[in-house]
Each structure stands twice: as structure tokens, then as C-alpha cells.
Amino acid sequence: MNKYLKVDEWKLIEEGFNPENHKGSESLFSLGNGRIGQRANFEEKYSGSSLQGNYVAGVYYPDKTRVGWWKNGYPEYFAKVLNAPNWIGIDVFIDDEELDFAKAKVDKFMRVLNMHDGVLERKAEVTLESGKKIRLVSKRFLSMHNQDIAAIKYSITPINFSGKITFIPYIDADIKNEDSNYDEKFWNIVEKQVDKSEAFITAETKKTEFQVCSGMVYNITKNHVTTEFEPELIQHDRYVANKISIDANKNDELVLYKYAAVLSSRNVEKSTLLEQTIKTAKQAAKTGFEILLNDHIATWEAKWHESDIVIEGDVEAQQGIRFNIFQLNQTYTGDDPTLNIGPKGFTGEKYGGSTYWDTEAYCLAFYLSTADSHVARNLLKYRYNQLDRAIENAEKLGFKNGAALYPMVTMNGEECHNEWEITFEEIHRNGAIAYAIYNYVNYTGDKEYLVEYGLEVLIAISRFWSQRVNYSEDKKKYVMLGVTGPNEYENNVNNNWYTNKIAAWTLKYTQETIAFVKKTHPARFSEITEKTKLQEFEEPARWENIVNKMYYPYDEKRKVLLQQDGFLDKEIKNIEFIPVAERPINQNWSWDRILRSCYIKQADVLQGIYFFENEFDKDAIRRNFDFYEPITVHESSLSPCIYSVMASKIGNNKKAYDLYLRTARLDLDDYNDEVYQGCHITSMAGTWLSIVEGFAGKRIIDDRLHFSPSIPRKWLSYSFVLRFRGSLVSIKITRKEMLISNLNGIDVSVAINDKKYEIASKQSISVEIKSI
């Protein structure tokens, strides 16, 4: 844990420069706009420890798998979201002495991320080895208004001398990924050009042949007056730049405005890529920094209007939720169904930036409630569009007849994860994708999705489950052997309860969907039957048999669901028995010791209870919570939020708050000592869940919004806005009442603590609640 940031409702503030925190700050202060992203690297040279990171959504490289023992079915590569050409670079020389924070004396330093505006600022005073002192002020943003552009305002002021200031703004394509399996570089240069005040490079990824054109146009002012200059043009194999030297007197302020355009062949034809990038960069420079910034801030203002959560009385909690919402909004905007949400988003390289089951299990609910329904629909279509690849993945493992196994990790639908216990065994991911279809339809009422896309996916997943189970003569039940559940501190177990449960649920839901589509859209059902070669009676009959005879491990003595067969053979000891110096255990224990222990990485049984809460009464939820939470180490970022929601459900409000704060500030306070690798983007949706589904108790039951509100002791109130089936609803919960306002022209029906209310257009209701 490392708490070094100031607590503020709308900002991340780092005061004083500590090189040991720098890589972590590069992650925390990252910027993105859904199409491009940038770690908070310094513009000028920094020779200290740093992870350079500039990313373009959807652009990846298939890095050849590196394993010691190849197994049949292994993917041939791991998809890496590439560190793209560096567009932020501005090298600075003071009378031929290079500015480098790793070598200079940093007298004053402040780095600020304004989350409301989406702007990163840095202010510093630095003394060079020569004794010359300068003031540096940098401000930059990646436009949410025009996702192809970014802008930097970068100023240098001599404090105790007059002399020559040299700027070298550049584009550098001589970059690599720190996580490259074979230390190779992934880009070839297609073309480059450099001229006065501008430079452009088009680079192409090896193998996948994505092209990215990165360009800059810049100007310089001196004491607010535009300065004329004749730059030296610089061009190397993978590098283009201008070099400008300007005489400055003491206290003169020199400002370089750098306008960048980053376009890719995912959105622009290769033949016009350079032309379009030049046009975009020049238009940005013509528009100017302040107008671009105002347009950007206005776009953020609109996003915050519909996704903000306001907390009164707890600044740490407020900063935490806003940081999480900020990162979610700048990672995925939902306009492109070929994109998804990587676990690190635009903040780092770990996990390859690829798609995991996190999207369906955690992120979907956030986008359902805070954005237009097409955003969530596009997340589902992403999986539908990759169905053929999921069927191919299953075929590689020996499954037949159109069975689909969606990948654990992917960029294009192919599996690219190469740890056998995950690739082959963590198959519960299939269930999360099926559940997401249900979750979307249940929330939006968009049953047409089932007709157009959903049923095909459900049939293919159900075929996988029906082939993956086998009938146990001993148990007289269907069993599932050799799996890994959500708790990855257990591998190759038999009958993981969650996996068995979500498999059976999927089979049942598929049968219900078949009946619905057949009844309401018979022509479309015939098309699907022909396309999928569905055996209309035989297959559902087998699925029904599996549902009725699925085996679920259970402990009669404790009356709890068992995570898997044999779980109680372990020595059950609460996490208090783990010395603090040995936490997190995944960084201090051998894998053998972890596997033999009872300790749980993340919600497993509780993940299933969260999904299927309506099947359990509060006593059953409480028994399972009280058994599993004390042995859960929460070393997955995905864990605390689920336990927090369930703690709220059973009225354990202190535990719910403690776990909320852990998930909300997981990265800000670096609970697991790993934020330098990037932020935990997908789990950030869980922070939102902890408040909206946890404290506010939001559920969708019988096509109606239901709430069972509570409020943490430290809070005076909290409020948020929900989109629901065309309506926009504002909710505020205080220690005495719940206020719901219908903000638009559609009447909305809600229930509070099971009592129903109808709220007309532009009307509000206030309901008294008990403060706990």
C-alpha cells in the first residue's frame, strides 16, 4: 500500500517528486479518449525508471507464445496492445544542457489530473547541474470531442539566468513493448516527412499490418506573442523532429503548443492515412489550444452529467469513485463494436490490453446504466461477431457440432492466453457471456437482441456445456471435471460450484430463449435452426436432463455451497493467520503453497450468488458470505466489489463500506503494490456496482427498477443518475430519505423496499428510509 496522493473530490494531486513513485504515477495520471491513450510520461527526456506508453485502440501484435512445454490446443500467440509511436516528446536544452528530472534537482513539483475536465497538468521548478534554474508548466489532453487529436501546452521560464532555450518536438517510432516475449520491435516504417513546424510518421505493425500515422504541428510564443523561427529539420530511420533555439531573458516565458493527430487504418483507408493525419493536425493547430480544450471539457461535462456519483461527507470515497468512473469513460465510449475493454485500458501493457470475461461480468452493468443502450449492445455484438472464432477455439480442444468456447483472452476472437490452467480450464467465462445477454435484455427490454444475435450465441455455448459435462454413475449426477473457477488459486478441480451452476443456468436460459424466438419470430427461428443445424427437440431435451441432474457440492453441516469437491479437506484458517509481511501471498508464497491453502483470490461461490441472488434467501447468502469472506485475500481487483454488494444485501454495512473503499482506492492507494503496471480498469466498474447495486440496492425485477437503500455511516448523502428504458432517473439517498426524480418525458415505475411507485414525467417522489 502506498498513499502519497492528496485527497481531493475532483483531482489527483502529487506534490513533490519521488522517483520511486514515478511509474505508478504514470499509470494513475494516464489519459485516454476511447481511441487513443497515453501514460503520464514526461514530455522531455527522463532517464529514470519509466514505462513509455502510447496506445491505439484495437491495434495489436500477435507475439509468439513462449512456454516451456507446448500442449495441444495452446494458442500460437499472445495479443499485445502495442506501444505506438511517441507523439508527446519535446526534448529541452538549456544552453546545451539537457533537461532531465532524473539528473536535475527538482525544487518544486506538482502533478495534477483534473478528472472533471480530463486534463493533466505538471508544474515544476528545477535546478540543473550548472546551477541554472527553470520553471516548467505542462498541460495536455486527449480530445474527447475529436478522438483523433491531442494537444500539449508546454512552457519553460528561466528563473535566474538569460540564455538559449532549445526545443526539439518530435515523433518517435523507435519504440518497443516492455512485455515483448522475444525483445523484438513490432513496427515497420511505411513513410515519414518533416517540414517547418510539422512532422509525420506512418508505421505498420508486423504480421497484423495495422497502420498508424502519428503527426504534429506546433507553434511557439514568447511572452504571449507568436515567435518566428527557422527550425533545423531532423529525420532518422524511425524519428522525425524540428529543433528550435530561442534566446530568452530571465523570466521570459516560452510556450510550445504541440498539436498531435493519431489516426489508424482501423478507421481510415491506408491510401489516405497520411493525408488525413496532416489535415487533422493542421486543423487542430488552426483551431487553437483553448478552443480545442473548451470543446473537450464540454464533452466531459456531458459525460459527468449522466455518470457521476456525488458523495457528501467522505472525500476519500468521493475521489475513489470519480477516479474509477473517469477511467471507465475514457477507456471505452461504445461507438465501435469491434472494440472492447482491456483490464489495463490505456494505462499499461500487462494482460496485453486484451478482452477478458471482466467486460461481461463487471463492466456491462455500468454502461447499461450510464450510456445509451447502443453502447452495451455493441459490447454484446463484439462477442457475436466473434462467434465463428469461438467455435474454432472449441474445435481445437476436441468439441464438435458447433460448440463454442469463447477465449479467456482475445483481440479478434482467437484464444491467446497460454497458461494451461486458464486456457483449458477456466471455462466459466462462457457462462459470463451468456449471462451478459440475459443482463442486457433484462435491463433494456430489448428482446429483439435475442432474435437478431443472442440465440445463436446461446445455442453454441450450450452445446459446449452439454459436451463438457459427463454423467457420474457413482453420483447419479452430471459432473464437470478438471476446471478452474473464478478463484485462480485453485486449478484442475472437480465440480467448481460456480462453473456447474452457470453452465446449468445457461442451458435453461437457452431453452427459454428458443421457445421465445420460435413463438414470436418463427421465420427467424427457422433461419437460426438451419444455420446452426439445431436439433430442435433432441438437443434441448439433453440440456433439460443435464439441468435437472447437475451435481452441486454442498456442506450439510455448515449449510454452505462448497467451492469444489474436497474443499473442506483443506485447513480452514482466516486470513488473519497470514503475517502482514507475507501479503499479498501471490508475491510471497510458492504456487504450491497457495494451491494447498484455503485462501481464495476472488469471489467464486459469491460470484454465483451475486448473479443468481433471487434463488437464495438472506440467511443462505449470509452463511456463505460469513464462511468465504474471512478466507478471501482479495488479491484480484475483481473481488472486493462482489463481496461489498453481498455485504450490503445482508445488512453488514461496515464490511460493505470497507470493501467498497478497497475497490474504489485499489489503485489510488496501491493496495497490491502493482499500480506501476497499469490501473485495474475493468474492476473499476465494480466500484460503481458497490454503490448502485450495493448501498442503493438497485435491481431489475419484473421490468421495474427496485431499490433497497442503505447509506454508510460516514456519508451524509450520495446521488447518481440512471438510464433505464428511455427514462433518465436521478436518485439521492440521505440518512433520512430517498429522493427520486424523473428527468425526462417518459413515466417510470420503481419500487423502494418492495413498495411500488409511479413517477410521471418531470416529477419527483420522496420516501422516508431508516438510517442504519
Cα torsion angle, 399, 401, 406, 412, sign:
positive
H, E, C per residue of 202-232: EEEECCCCCEEEEEEEEEEEECCEECCCCCE
Position of cell 524540428? 242
d(CA 594, CA 421): 15
Long-range interactions of 664-669: CB distance < 8 A, separation 24+: 664/317, 664/320, 664/321, 664/323, 664/324, 664/690, 665/316, 665/319, 665/320, 666/637, 666/640, 667/27, 667/28, 667/323, 668/3, 668/5, 668/12, 668/28, 668/319, 668/320, 668/323, 669/1, 669/2, 669/3
Tell me if the bond preceding 712 is cis, omega within 30° of 0: no
DSSP H/E element including 169: strand 163-172
488 is catalytic: yes
109: which strand partners? 124
CA dihedral 376, 380, 381, 385 (to 10 degrees): 150
What are the cell numbers at 10? 475532483
**Which residue of the set 204, 488, 490, 635 is catalytic?**
488
With both helix axes pointing from N to C terminus, report the angle between 455-468 and 497-520 in degrees, rounded to the nearest 10.
140
Cα 23 to chain center, whole Å? 19
- The most distant pair of C-alpha atoms in the chain lies apart, rounded to whole Å, by 89
Give phi and psi for 690, each to the nearest 5. Answer: -60, -35
CB under 8 Å to 396, separation ≥6 — which residues? 73, 415
Give residue 587's Cα distance to chain centre: 23
Which residue in 235, 195, 234 sits closest to 216, CA to CA? 195
Output the CA torsion 51→52→56→57 (10° steps).
Answer: 10
Crossing angle for the helix pair 538-549 and 497-520, nearest 10 degrees?
A: 150
Q: Beta strand 748-752 with 704-707: parallel, antiparallel or unpaired?
A: parallel
Tell me the catalytic residues. Answer: 488
